[in-house]
Chains A and B, each alone.
Chain A
């Protein structure tokens, strides 16, 4: 039976996407005036490994496509071709196209052949349109060795109407058991030319005698190609011992002395035509423009729910540290074992020291394990130079992007979820923040706008800042707009901060005209919601005419949470510290009843609803507290404040989040569980969920 190649697919895709990122950043850093050959080499190598990998896994469309890119890059590498801006743009476009192709393959969808063909055409024009400089004559065949003939070196080319080979391929019964797969052979053969297969199934035994791992089928293959016998035989080299092979030329080849060399352009075309021809059968319908729209839409939909990548690449250093830690723990453990073996009271000091050591090692071990999940934020940041490059060109603005603190480490889950909000914010800065070059000069600012993307750690949080030196937010305009949309009372007096917060309201957009980049008024509210769902918050500081700073505060990890433990009867619950505004002792005169039922309390000038934890969670244990005893924890959930009435506050601590769903199911009002120091379980409250629960 064949090896299941799909088990390697995940690794292959990861490597491809990494390669594409390397290509992209390489292309963007290419300085057109002064070409660094090392950069070109890096790009070339990335393209080459993608081509090799996709060939191995049978993604011929990708392999064929990359091949053309590789040809172009190879010429640039050898200095036979000038690196021009159009060429770089075409290559950037191809990187996108490849990424789409790979994403489609990864999600087991049809590749959008229309866009692939378009990009391929652009590449070909780039390749051939300027290849007439005479260099191409030698270079093109050399770089396309595995698909194209080498006309110069073989003057006595075999030319025939139907040039190729007829192959009788009779595998022995054990062919499959040796790990070979005829399908892969055929795929490789079809890379050489047009392959027609005829299957001979007369040897298949009756079903009752059929052994699934024996190959009872033989094939007659007709391969229309100009490859030599050696090249074709090469493909069969792995199976030679496990099958009977017969080769015969397809037609009597006429030995013709070649007079005219084929034009290099034609050769190139042939190479390019092959992958397209092969690729077409993979799309169900001919890619007529209206029909081709559909795959695009599907691809977009799939981007919203991509297959979760489950593996993680870890620095070897981190693993080494971890192994080192484990070693230390084992040593300490054996030491403690020794003390315990024949324990006498005079060993207490030793025991205490050992336990202290164990505690230290355990803490270090926990830290290093946590570190494994940490990735540098550059995983997200590295995509933005491209985004800024593309959009600034599109808007004809001059913008540089500065990245600061790309090596700041943050939890993998945060890295994955922060990308979309950041893209949105940067688009906003590009579109609305930075002015047109002329306006900037008029305002006495440098023509080139700057967007700075900063990441740094501060007090157990990671802070990401997007700083632009653009026009800033106009408070009066924001307020006028809010009043016009009825979001704010006309008489309301708002602080600066409150005015800036208005842009997070759903349906709020100050852009005078909508562009396809931003300004539809959806988005900022979604951005804020996404960031809040990660347990973070977002702030805006802006000065009119000078620029805007958007700061995002995020927890370092989603696996650990700062919590306040509270007691309700005999039960202990954890309230996430981020959602707590304050805690106050309840007094009789603070309490009010609305219509005899709904309880509220007065906090300074606001009336807030009270949620009695004892009632909402049906806690029966412990002495029932009187209505005027206990502590009110003021929390913010779903944008509104409310008070949780608990018996007492116990203490603040970092807790490790454990899933309840792993062994049970979601429980309303509870976001997870954790294990306290004494080994008992405590439930972590889901503040917005509880607010919802109390409304019902």
Chain B
């Protein structure tokens, strides 16, 4: 894990990110958004919803939706195994409310301390890739980590146009990284 010695750098804030793997790519989410990590278990399918909404799960009495990010990003599908995890996120909604959603990931890898200054803005990929839902990018041990803005990514108001979004993040995005 990176350690910070030079505190004078502005912005000096250090943020912690949980990184996880998805089709051999590394993604990160702010750790403060993460409520818990649990193994994959069967979900109840909700009818007539986009296919990346896998269904709903009973999380100690509340019913939470589970989103498959592979499908969400139109990545190649894979079987769910005993290694598959669900990262439960607490997402802030613009109307002061918050809600809980789970995302399916292949595996969680690490918790990284990242200085705000080291988060690079995502480059413009043009119409091929929508970067609206990305906080930015970070290079760690020669690996590119994509930091997601989950508040925007999983906003239920936008769930309806998630279909359109999944198309806009084109399937050849793997080639770009």
Which residues of A pack against B, CB within 8 Å?
571-572, 616-619, 658-660, 662-665, 667-670, 673, 675, 679-683
Looking across the interface, which residue of chain A has its beta carbon closest to that of B99?
A663
**Candidates B42, B44, B156; contact of A664 at CB < 8 Å:** B156
Task: Confirm or deny: B173 has a beta carbon within 8 angstroms of a beta carbon on chain A.
Answer: no
Across the interface, A571 reaches (CB within 8 A) one of B44, B57, B63, B159, namely B44
The CA-CA distance from A617 to B45 in the complex, in Å, is: 10
Report the stretch among B20-28, B46-54, B133-141 that lies at the interface: B46-54
Q: How far is the CA of A617 from the CA of B44 in the complex (A)?
A: 12
Decide if A663 touches B159 in the complex (CB within 8 Å).
no
What CA separation (Å) do A658 and B43 show in the bound complex? 16
The residue on B at minimum CB distance from A613 is: B47
Cross-chain contact A663 with B48 (CB below 8 angstroms): no
Contact indicator per residue, chain B 75-116, by CB within 8 Å of chain A (1) or not (0): 000000000000000000000000111000000000000000
Within 8 Å by CB of A617, from B48, B55, B57, B63, lies B48
Say yes or no: is B5 at the interface (Cβ < 8 Å to chain A): no
A667→B47 contact, CB < 8 A = yes
Is B3 interfacial (CB 8 A cutoff)?
no
Cross-chain contact B47 with A669 (CB below 8 angstroms)? yes
| A681 near B47: Cβ-Cβ < 8 Å | no
Query: Are A679's CB and B63's CB within 8 A?
Result: no
- Contact A668 B44, CB 8 Å, known A659-B63, A680-B58: no
CB within 8 Å for A662 and B45 given contacts A680-B58, A681-B57: no
How many Å from the CB of A691 to the closest CB on chain B?
Answer: 15
A664 and B45 form a contact (CB under 8 A)? no
Contacts of A670 in B (CB 8 A): 46-47
Kindly state the separation between the CA atoms of A673 and B62 in the bound complex, as whole angstroms.
9
A683 adjacent to B49 (CB under 8 Å):
no
Please report the number of residue pairs spanning A and B whose Cβ atoms sit closer than 8 angstroms: 69
Within the assembled complex, what's the spacing in Å between the Cα atoms of A571 and B44? 7
Min CB–CB distance B44 → chain A (angstroms): 4
Pairwise interchain contact B58-A663, C-beta atoms closer than 8 A: no
Instruction: Report Cα–Cα, A607/B101, bound state, in Å.
Output: 44
Name A680's contact: one of B42, B46, B99 (CB within 8 Å): B42
Return the 7 tightest CB-CB contacts between A and B, nearest first. A617-B47, A681-B44, A664-B65, A663-B99, A673-B63, A675-B58, A658-B63
User: Looking at the complex, which one of B42, B47, B57 makes contact with A616 (CB distance below 8 Å)?
Assistant: B47
Is B14 part of the contact surface with A, judged by Cβ < 8 Å? no
Chain A residue with Cβ nearest B44: A681
Decide: B63 and A662 in contact? CB cutoff 8 A: yes
Check B62–A680 contact: CB distance below 8 A.
no
User: In the assembled complex, which residues on chain B have CB atoms less than 8 Å from the CB atom of A658?
Assistant: 61-63
* Distance from B95 Cβ to chain A, minimum over Cβ atoms (Å): 13
Return the contact of B44 from the options A616, A663, A680 (Cβ within 8 A): A680
Return the chain B residue nearest A673 by Cβ. Answer: B63
The distance in angstroms between the C-alpha atoms of A679 and B42, with both chains bound, is 11
Q: Inside 8 A of B42's CB, which chain A residues have their CB? A: 680
Contact A663–B65 (Cβ < 8 Å): yes
CB distance from A574 to the nearest CB of B (A): 11
Q: How far is the CA of A572 from the CA of B47 in the complex (A)?
A: 12
A618/B56 in contact, CB under 8 A: no
Nearest-CB distance from B47 to chain A (Å)?
Answer: 4
- By a CB distance below 8 angstroms, the chain B residues around A682 are 44
CA distance A682 to B47 in the complex (A): 12
B165 within 8 A of A: no
